[in-house]
Amino acid sequence: MRLSAPIYHLKRKARRLSREQGIPLHAALDRIAKAEGFSAWSMLAAKAAAVPSASKLFPQFRPGDLVLVGARPGQGKTLMSLELAVEAMTSGHRAAFFSLEYTERDVIDRLRAIGVDPAQFVELFEVDCSDAISADYVVKQMAAAPRGTVIVIDYLQLLDQRRENPDVSVQVRALKSFARDRGLIVVFISQIDRSYDPAIKPCPDLDDVRLPNPLDLKLFDKTCFLNQSEVQFRAAS
């Protein structure tokens, strides 16, 4: 049985239900679980624990990796990418989030949505929402980044939206070389084409990545696709 929404959405729904109806949080959680077809929240949580999480995925990353995180809107690709950044920082590494989609406040709010106090990582986390973001911009900003730094780029399909920027293929290759030379991990958040049908397959895959411009998806070392409670992680063979 698949969950109707990612577990962090269900937890948020339970907290709201607890406040609105004045019931204990554990009772609200159980009520949400029953609506999902489970006898109690503990049963739902057990299912969620079996789904690959950032804490399970991050140890599989290696310096130099290019990672693609893809999902349709609202399925948690941004939060998963932030969770990967948090895993890096928890391990003592730095992380940076470059966004052409969100403001810095949006990013901080999403950190709080996954239960992270941004002040905890103030010395390790950088948010950059410049309109000038491109591969060259990222390389310049991260030139002194230490080995093991995680760089999240939000998102892949916007990198070449400005006419003066090189094609996305050129930019991804440049970032791949940069990551390998410096021992960094670069995570690209990616859109999924609207033609993806979850009734046909539980998770999107590389065939479903929206590509307005040509890009060799074999450039990515690892992929993580999400849909509802499903998470599929794959490493290049």
Sorted by sequence, the CB contacts under 8 Å of residue 102 that are 6+ apart come out as 78, 110, 129, 154
Residue 56: other Cβ atoms inside 10 A: 13
- Determine the Cα–Cα distance for residues 113 and 157; give it in Å rounded to an integer: 25
Which residues contact residue 178 at a Cβ distance below 8 angstroms, ignoring those fewer than 6 apart?
135, 138, 139, 142, 184, 186
Question: Which runs of consecutive H residues, i.e. helices, occur in 58-192?
Answer: 77-90, 104-113, 135-141, 168-182
Integer Cα distance of 107 and 99 in angstroms: 9
What value, to the nearest 5°, has the Cα angle with vertex 126 and ends 160 and 180? Answer: 60
pLDDT for 48 beyond 80: no
Residue 127 is encoded by which pair of tokens?
Answer: 């948010």
H or E segment at 54? Answer: helix 54-57
- Report pLDDT digits (tens) over 66-91: 999 999 998 889 999 999 999 999 99
- Under the banding of pLDDT at 50, 70 and 90, the label for residue 51 is low
**Could you tell me which of 53, 52, 71, 57 has the C-alpha nearest to residue 185?**
57
pLDDT at 218: 95
Rounded Cα distance between 103 and 116, Å, is: 18
Cα 54 to Cα 230: distance, rounded to the nearest angstrom: 13
Q: What is the reported pLDDT for 115?
A: 80
> In 10 A of CB 68, how many CB atoms?
23
Phi and psi (nearest 5°) for 83?
A: -65, -35
Residue type at 146 in one-letter notation:
P
Global pTM reads 0.82
CB 185 within 8 A of CB 88: yes
Q: Which of 121, 112, 114 has its CA nearest to residue 93?
A: 121
The pLDDT value given to residue 50: 62
What is the identity of the amino acid at 213?
Answer: N
CB–CB of 227/203 below 8 Å?
A: yes
At 13-47, the pLDDT tens digits run: 999 999 999 999 999 999 999 998 999 999 888 87
All structural domains of the chain, each given as residue ranges with its CATH number in brackets, are 7-49 (no CATH), 54-235 (3.40.50.300)
